Each structure stands twice: as structure tokens, then as C-alpha cells.
Amino acid sequence: MATPPSRRTWNPLRSEQEAFQFLIAAMGYFGAIAIASAFGGVWAGVSVFAVLTVASVAWLLNRNRHLDPPAT
């Protein structure tokens, strides 16, 4: 059953390239947390998690800030 145009799902990843970049970034994110936890203990992992999460949210909030407005 096809989804009506008014109820289409929203996809935050606009292309296959963005999806692949997200996959690589997620692997690096979780890998950095795991490595920090393995070598530095639980609190090192928690601190890496906090720093990377704040950096990711800041990047996401500023990602579309400098786009040109759509042409009318």
C-alpha cells in the first residue's frame, strides 16, 4: 500500500552518500567510546561519550545554518 503524499515519512539523510557518512561517523563514535572505556575505565568512556555527544549536537544545530534560502 502506497503512502499518500501528505503522509510521507521524513528522512533526515538526504542521499545514500549522507547515509554512508552517518554510518562511518557512528562507527567512529561508538569505537572511540569503547576504546576509551577499555583503556581508561568506565569514567573515561563516559567522558568521551559526553564530549562527542555535545560536539555532535553542536554540529547538527549548525549544519544548515549557512544554507541559502530557497529561490522563489
Matching residue, cell 515519512 = 9
Each residue's pLDDT tens digit, 4-61: 666 777 777 778 888 898 899 999 999 999 999 999 999 999 999 999 999 988 887 8
DSSP H helical ranges for the chain: 16-40, 42-63
- Asked whether residue 45 is assigned to any structural domain, the reply reads yes
Higher pLDDT, 4 or 63: 63
Residue 35: give the domain boundaries. 29-62
The band of 62, judged by pLDDT with boundaries at 50, 70 and 90, is: confident
Give the number of other CB atoms < 10 A from CB of residue 72.
Answer: 3
The reply to whether 49 falls in a domain is yes
Domain annotation covers residue 51? yes
Counted domains in the chain = 1
9 occurs within a structural domain: no
Residue 39 within a domain: yes
